[in-house]
Chain A
Amino acid sequence: MEPASRLDNNHKLTLKDFPYVVRWRDDRCTRCGKCTAVCPMLSIEPSVVVKRSVHSDGPIPNPKSARQTVTVIKQSTDIDRYCTGCATCSLVCPNEAIEPEFNPQHKLAFHKNRGGHPYRRGGRRNDPLVSTLDRLKFTRISMLTDPALDAGRHEFRIRTYLGRILPPEELPIKLVNGNLKLDKKSDTFMPPVREIYPIMIGSMSIGALSPNMWEGLAMGITYLNEVEGMPVVMCSGEGGMPARLLRSRFLKYFIPQIASGYFGWDEIVRALPHMIEDPCAIEIKYGQGAKPGDGGLLMAHKVLKLISEIRGVPMGVDLPSPPTHQTKYSIEEAVAKMIQSMSMAWGFRVPVYPKISATQTSKAVLNNLVRNPFAAALSLDGEDGGTGAAYDVSMNSMGHPIASNLRDCYLDLVKQGKQNEIPLIASGGVGKKGNLAANAASLFMLGASAVSIGKYIMQAAAECLGDEQNRCNVCNIGRCPRGITTQDPKLYRRLDPDKVAERVVEVFKSVDIELKKILAPMGRSTELPIGMSDGLSADDPAIAERLKINYAC
């Protein structure tokens, strides 16, 4: 008699339980094997099945059955090899014989927790709904009494400041013979300020990204700065930067990030005496929008030789950063010690600012920073932010949307008359649906001095395959089918850094035109419309009331 385990299919899943079901067409398939070779999840494999076919030869029907062994493409029902829907199989198939199809009734969340490990994924929230930012419209359009500017002909200046700005009352200025002069004998501390493009590339580390992707982004922003005259800057993310870059003149376009893991900071500190340029700024990461209250995690699969060298860690081990900076007990202490010591390291010439997850406590953090003369800005990362690896529950359910969080913080500054002193950088879902310029402009009008983008630039510059329907989302396990977030040379060689750089430049040049097309009818050309909330309307009265803007329907 057969043992029970051989007959028991109860503990297996059917394809209907999976988020993607691979549609394979026998009649079109030439069995070339490309699809199974590229599948990053090993969800599909060549297999053989026995077929019984009935056929008849000759003029008179005379059916005969025959058993035939045929090769097929079979989808695994192993939960660890689930199809992520990346559709790389479709990309390589010469005959359009295969494609994953989304299964809205899937039960992945019920089953993807084997071994007591909750579902962890990279990428984005699985939230296909329209975000608040996409529900805002620009409704104060100049026309007659207030003629619209011409986006194509007038001169526009889309720039912002990164760094703490002294209020006019505190500037060390004196009147000498009817002219204003800088009072050089004054002991007023002049915080460093940078003029940058108001859309920054947010923190994505070398390690999270593949070398080709990171290099492409870096080349793109260098081209934008040096050829196009657009001062776009980019944050390094946690984990340090290549020593060669730290000692190069390109460092001024980068914002090295120090996070709670302190990865790579030995190298940065060691490179300090050899730096020929100051970095644009230093970002201290206390939290990220996709997993507030959680630390960073670079999974062991991605810690290969290059990463281990940059970060100063052994190869092939998980690199978790704790949720807090272990040497600090409070934001007050962090503000006092960390911001100040980072400022001091660069002779107080470099703006230093923290990045936090947008939460109910954002205002408390902000108020603390406002009183610190060395705090250069506050970066608020909303719940729609992406991540290299987060628990599903964190991505989907933790954190605060960026729109109301930013607005609360800005209005808090307005109440204190300090809205121009400490710039707010907003991120988390900017350009989630592709409307980068509109989302960014909305955030400026709600009070942001700058916005950070991460997912958008990956999707646009490297043609990321992921979406908000659980598609792909394997940034964490080193199997990114595009080669964006992997350290496997077989995969990242798929990505041409020159093409990424080219796309980065195209994205910024085009978003610049779109921003002009928004700002011109709003009548803004020389300064960003920061806090110009009368220009915005929401299509939902509750959103309008919450953000203290107009309601339009």
Chain B
Amino acid sequence: MCRLAALTSAKYFSPIENVIALETMKEGHDGSGMGLILKDLGGDFKDLKSYPILSGICSKDGISALDSYMDKLGFRLKHEWSPKIKPVKGINKRDHYFARAYDYPDEYKGRSLEERESLLLNTRVALRKMGEADESIIVFAFYPDIIALKEVGDPMQLSEFFGLDNSSLKAKIIFAQGRQNTNYAINLYACHPFFIQGYGTMTNGENTAFIPIKEFLQGRGMPGYIGYNSDSEVFAHILHYSCKHLGYPLTYYKDIITPLKSEEIDTRKDSEVARLLKMSLRPLCIDGPNCVIGFTPDGTTFMVQDAKKLRPGIVGGNKGKFGLMSEECGLDSAVPKRDKSLDVFPMKYDMVIIEPDAKGVKVWNQLQGWTTIIS
């Protein structure tokens, strides 16, 4: 089972904090990979928030194909960050790791956010397809203020490999996953966290309803709903589908993936809506063991459990810095000085939501509504 370490803070911090938290939970991952997503970036990218950042890995051939494709579309490179790779035994170095901020093509300068997002997604999908066969281009994200970094190896060794301890990379929200690979082949595209158009999730479970969910999402006709190298990638897409495509408030994500029983729905104020959503979104119900941690474009982070609460998950911290972890020891490492009595272990009906800039923690209960925990 993977280990998850997410931190959200009012101040910029380094991803090494997440990696150290993962290290304390080490028995839970097998070192078969690590994924990092940084949101609300500091450091070099602090002043580049409006420019989309392409995060990925390329071979020598791949990088030139990527350059010529981006040129052809009219994207202009504004800034590039590459890790200072320090060779570490056991980690196979690839040719190029990068996070590149681009300026939009001229014809998109005055366009709406919607059109720009669509361009970024289509570009990301096209690049992915270009390099899929020979792994010459691997793209994890192409979106403003987001950097994704993934590689095969132990999280601690990878942070040394990428030089994260001395890196200028900083952000206010950082998600990290220490991977326990249950697939036969290690595929980087199967590495969490997953990201699509401002929405990201990671999970420490296995999704038994993967096929029906995948088939439902693929049938929506959205260009980004592809891939699915991991059975958990669908969680990010369900979040995107419910919040962005359907425009539902975040709390309905919980109602969609773990719907209430009919009798329970009767007790809700919005029972008419909840009943309709349960029926219409029936294929998106998850039964499998999953703790899902995610974020939305405005910087809200959250944690939800499957209806059986079959996976560990804890949220805690102080105003200004909160952690969402799969293990308590990870949270102790990241936010040691906190009131532990306020820690939240979300159960069957709960969705723990942390406001942007780590202002406070609220719990949404499917039956009871809002409860403020830490503010």
Question: In the complex, what residue of chain A is closest to B261 when comparing beta carbons?
Answer: A157
Residues in chain A near residue B273, CB distance under 8 A: 173, 180-182
A509-539 at interface with B (beta carbon < 8 Å): 522-527, 529-534
Interchain CB contact (< 8 A) of B282 among A161, A415, A416: A161
Beta-carbon contact of A146 and B270 below 8 Å: no
Question: In the complex, what residue of chain A is closest to B260 when comparing beta carbons?
Answer: A526
A522 to B215, CA, bound (A): 18
B162-186 at interface with A (beta carbon < 8 Å): 180, 182
Q: Mark B258-295, 1 if CB is under 8 A from A, else 0.
A: 11011000000010110011011111010111000000
Residues in chain A near residue B129, CB distance under 8 A: none
Question: In the complex, what residue of chain B is closest to A165 when comparing beta carbons?
Answer: B279
Residues in chain A near residue B98, CB distance under 8 A: none
Q: Which of A57-65, A324-332, A417-425 contacts B (4 or more CB under 8 A)?
A: A417-425
Beta-carbon contact of A171 and B215 below 8 Å: no
A402 within 8 A of B: no
B113 within 8 A of A: no
Residues in chain B near residue A165, CB distance under 8 A: 279-280, 282
Q: Which of B34-42, B84-92, B134-142, B243-251 contacts A (4 or more CB under 8 A)?
A: B243-251
A3 within 8 A of B: no
Chain B contact residues: helix, strand, loop or mixed? loop
Residues in chain A near residue B220, CB distance under 8 A: 417
A425 to B220, CA, bound (A): 24
A393-443 at interface with B (beta carbon < 8 Å): 414-420
A142 to B307, CA, bound (A): 16
B208 within 8 A of A: yes
Beta-carbon contact of B249 and A180 below 8 Å: yes
B69 within 8 A of A: no
Beta-carbon contact of B208 and A417 below 8 Å: no
Interchain CB contact (< 8 A) of A530 among B212, B218, B249: B212
B110 within 8 A of A: no
Interchain CB contact (< 8 A) of A531 among B212, B218, B252, B310: B212
Interchain CB contact (< 8 A) of A417 among B209, B221, B246, B249: B221
Q: A420 with B248: in contact, given A181-B270, A525-B287 (CB under 8 Å)?
A: no
Question: In the complex, what residue of chain B is closest to A521 when comparing beta carbons?
Answer: B208
B211 within 8 A of A: yes
A187 within 8 A of B: no
B206 within 8 A of A: yes
Q: Mark B181-225, 1 if CB is under 8 A from A, else 0.
A: 010000000000000000000000110111110011011110000
A14 within 8 A of B: no
B308 within 8 A of A: yes
Looking at A181, A195, A526, which has the most chain B CB atoms within 10 Å of its CB?
A: A526
Q: Mark A177-214, 1 if CB is under 8 A from B, else 0.
A: 01111100000000001010000000000000000000
A142-193 at interface with B (beta carbon < 8 Å): 142, 145-147, 149, 154, 157, 159, 161, 165-169, 171, 173, 175, 178-182, 193
Beta-carbon contact of B258 and A533 below 8 Å: no
Beta-carbon contact of B272 and A193 below 8 Å: no
A529 to B308, CA, bound (A): 16
B130 within 8 A of A: no
Residues in chain A near residue B249, CB distance under 8 A: 175, 178-180
B66 within 8 A of A: no
Residues in chain A near residue B156, CB distance under 8 A: none
A50 to B270, CA, bound (A): 87
Interchain CB contact (< 8 A) of B206 among A145, A416, A533: A145
Beta-carbon contact of B252 and A180 below 8 Å: yes
Q: How far is the CB of B289 from chain A (nearest CB, A)?
A: 6
A524 to B258, CA, bound (A): 12
B20 within 8 A of A: no
Q: A419 with B211: in contact, given A145-B206, A526-B258 (CB under 8 Å)?
A: no
Beta-carbon contact of B280 and A166 below 8 Å: yes
B1 within 8 A of A: yes
Beta-carbon contact of A166 and B276 below 8 Å: yes
Beta-carbon contact of B208 and A180 below 8 Å: no
Q: A526 with B285: in contact, given A147-B310, A157-B261, A533-B211 (CB under 8 Å)?
A: yes
Residues in chain A near residue B262, CB distance under 8 A: 159, 195
Beta-carbon contact of A171 and B259 below 8 Å: no
Residues in chain B near residue A171, CB distance under 8 A: 276-277, 280
Q: Mark B63-99, 1 if CB is under 8 A from A, else 0.
A: 0000000000000000000000000000000000000
Residues in chain A near residue B219, CB distance under 8 A: 414-419
Residues in chain A near residue B211, CB distance under 8 A: 531-534
Residues in chain B near residue A173, CB distance under 8 A: 273, 276
Which are the 6 A-B pairs with shortest beta-carbon distances? A417-B219, A523-B208, A146-B206, A527-B285, A531-B212, A168-B280
The 19 sampled A-B contact pairs (Cβ below 8 Å) are A145-B206, A146-B205, A146-B208, A147-B289, A165-B280, A166-B280, A168-B280, A171-B280, A180-B273, A195-B262, A417-B219, A417-B220, A420-B280, A522-B208, A523-B209, A523-B287, A526-B259, A526-B287, A527-B209
With A154-B308, A165-B279, A526-B259 given, name 19 new contacts (CB 8 A).
A142-B208, A145-B180, A146-B205, A146-B288, A149-B287, A161-B279, A165-B280, A173-B276, A180-B270, A182-B273, A417-B218, A417-B219, A418-B219, A420-B216, A523-B287, A531-B211, A531-B215, A531-B283, A532-B211
